[in-house]
Amino acid sequence: MKKEQMVVTKHEQIADHIFQLTLQGELVSEMRNPGQFVHLKVSDGSTPLLRRPISISEINSKKQQFTMIYRAEGAGTQLLSKKKVDEVVDVLGPLGNGFPMDGIIEGQTALLVGGGIGVPPLLELSTRLVSKGVKVHHVLGFQSQKAVFLESEFIALGNTIIATDDGSYGYKGFVTDAIKDNGLEFDTMFTCGPTPMLRALEKLYGHKPLFLSLEERMGCGIGACFACVCHTGNDPTGTSYKKVCSDGPVFKAGEVVI
């Protein structure tokens, strides 16, 4: 983990309120697993005060660059969206443990399910799985057509189904229905997205190898503040806990209460 002033090499809007930002710096050499995140300070002043956790969507070790995709919705991410090429961003990372890929081997099939701003970390994961010889299916849920992003990138890696809540593009409905209606089979599922979606997937597929990436409001991002703590699955009301930032953000189904 490092704190570094990283340089913006590319920054563009790719969908409604969605921005893609590429940063360059030595910190990239520490990035290991897809699903890790960075913690960004978007202003030099005291407002907004806290850092913003944002997932890593692509890692280019050769160029010492990484890309992230975020939704410019609150004051912090709106400020971030104003950063121009050659400006610097204060980055702390890489943080968290990311998706474990040891359990899935060549010839097996992985189903990657993303929802909204949970889609980006699945891109690096899919790339790594494909290079390992794993067959990938992607089911990506968005609110509407104008919110869709990364479609062609995922298509290039494997079977890709886009689902929209309002039916304005692709399959109309939830990702869970899209999986069922398309008869998708898999050995391991990896997912990242809104908590209700994660809950639904855990309920349906929790008996199979399933890894979920959680989101929770964070203070420090490194495990010191206890803001993003959740109960463990084997002690749902007791004092055992996991921290989303440092023990996660990816957990095996059943490991924590979501």
Partner 1 sequence: MLDVNLPGLSLKNPIMPASGCFGFGREYSNLYDLSQLGSIMIKASTQEPRFGNPTPRVAETDAGMLNAIGLQNPGVEKVVSEELVWLEQFDLPIIANVAGSQVEDYVYVAEKISQSKNVHALELNISCPNVKTGGIAFGTIPDVAAGLTKAVKEVSDVPVYVKLSPNVANIVDMAKAIENAGADGLTMINTLIGMRIDLKTGKPVIANKTGGLSGPAIKPVAIRMVYEVSQAVNIPIIGMGGVQTVDDVIEFLYAGASAVAVGTANFVNPFVCPEIIDQLPEKLKELGYEHVTECVGRSWKA
Per CB under 8 A, residues contacting partner 1 are 1, 3, 41, 46-51, 76, 92, 216-231, 238-239, 241, 246
Nearest distance from C-beta of residue 106 to partner 1, angstroms: 34
Residue 229 CA to residue 248 CA, distance in Å, equals 10
Length of the chain: 258
Please check whether residue 213 is in contact with residue 249, taking contact to mean a CB–CB distance below 8 angstroms: yes
Please check whether residue 36 is in contact with residue 49, taking contact to mean a CB–CB distance below 8 angstroms: no
Question: Count of CB atoms within 10 A of residue 257's CB?
Answer: 14
Residue number, 6 or 139, with CB nearest to partner 1: 6
Residue 194 CA to residue 206 CA, distance in Å, equals 17
Nearest distance from C-beta of residue 72 to partner 1, angstroms: 16
Nearest distance from C-beta of residue 227 to partner 1, angstroms: 4
Q: Report CA-CA distances (Å) from 54 to 67, 73, 156, 199.
A: 10, 13, 24, 21
Residue number, 150 or 218, with CB nearest to partner 1: 218
Nearest distance from C-beta of residue 153 to partner 1, angstroms: 31
Question: Count of CB atoms within 10 A of residue 93's CB?
Answer: 26
Nearest distance from C-beta of residue 3 to partner 1, angstroms: 6
Nearest distance from C-beta of residue 123 to partner 1, angstroms: 28
- 């002033």: which residue's tokens? 5
Residue number, 9 or 232, with CB nearest to partner 1: 232
Residue number, 192 or 244, with CB nearest to partner 1: 244
DSSP string, 151-210: HHHHHTTSEEEEEETTSSSSEES-HHHHHHHTT---SEEEEES-HHHHHHHHHHHTTS-E
- 């964070």: which residue's tokens? 218
Residue number, 30 or 181, with CB nearest to partner 1: 30
Residue number, 76 or 141, with CB nearest to partner 1: 76
